[in-house]
Amino acid sequence: MTMNKTFSICYNQNIPNTKNIADIIAKYLKEKGLKVIISDLNNLSKICDFAFVVGGDGTILKAGRFYSKFNIPIFGINLGHLGFLSQASENELQSAIEKILNNDYRTEKRMMLECGKYCALNDFVIKSQSQIRTSSISIEINSEFVCDYTADGVIISTPTGSTAYAMSAGGPILTPDLEVLVITPICPHMLSVRPIVVNKNSIIRVYSKNKDEFMVCADGQETFLMADITIKKSVNYASLALLKDNSFYSVLRNKLYWGINPQCKF
């Protein structure tokens, strides 16, 4: 890293200890003569070249959406629960920062989705306004009718989001370098319904033949009501800074225990 770089350190004020970790990172960088901006998640700064994000996956999702507009890479430090999108924990701070400063990392562009003025790095979740009943949901792709769902809802996700809610709903795990959209019904009342993966240029329309409004949620964070929903690939990409020894498959094994035989004790 050259000395004229400006680093942003953003933290989630709702997660304990994130401000302390942000201060530790800032002190370390300032001691090396680097320019630093500290901000909480509600006051993110675009005046930087690289952003450290301290929190959990939700923190990284919100920061990823914000910084995608400016093509600024973000590096996640996990103080949340799962930490699937993060690259380092609290006890790995110094070694992780040194790797960033020595350019010992790679940057991965992650496809995003858009629905009107909203965007999502993981997914858009579409459900009935009433959380206690199923919905009648119709799907069109590129103006062609595809199917009707009777279900608790439907998830439109990116490959990054394929390991989130969509996976829990029975969707496929996709490597994040793919550029496709995944349509996954939530608890469908039909034995024949399966998730479907479609081309990145697909324009997905979700609507109710009864003209009902749906509750739509972007990345589990921004919620709005809409009756006729159009979702497509965003023009922006989230830019994730990843350590070279943290592969997608190692994260699957270490954090989701994918492909690991359970050790049964009787």
Give the residue numbers marked as catalytic: 57
Structure tokens at 188: 């469908």
d(CA 117, CA 128): 21
Which is it for the CA torsion 219, 117, 179, 198, positive or negative?
positive
Structure tokens at 55: 């929190």
Q: 80-85: long-range contacts at Cβ-Cβ below 8 A with a sequence spacing of 24 or more?
A: 80/12, 80/15, 80/55, 80/56, 81/56, 81/57, 82/56, 82/57, 82/255, 83/56, 83/57, 83/255, 84/57, 84/163, 84/164, 84/251, 84/255, 84/256, 85/57, 85/60, 85/61, 85/160, 85/240
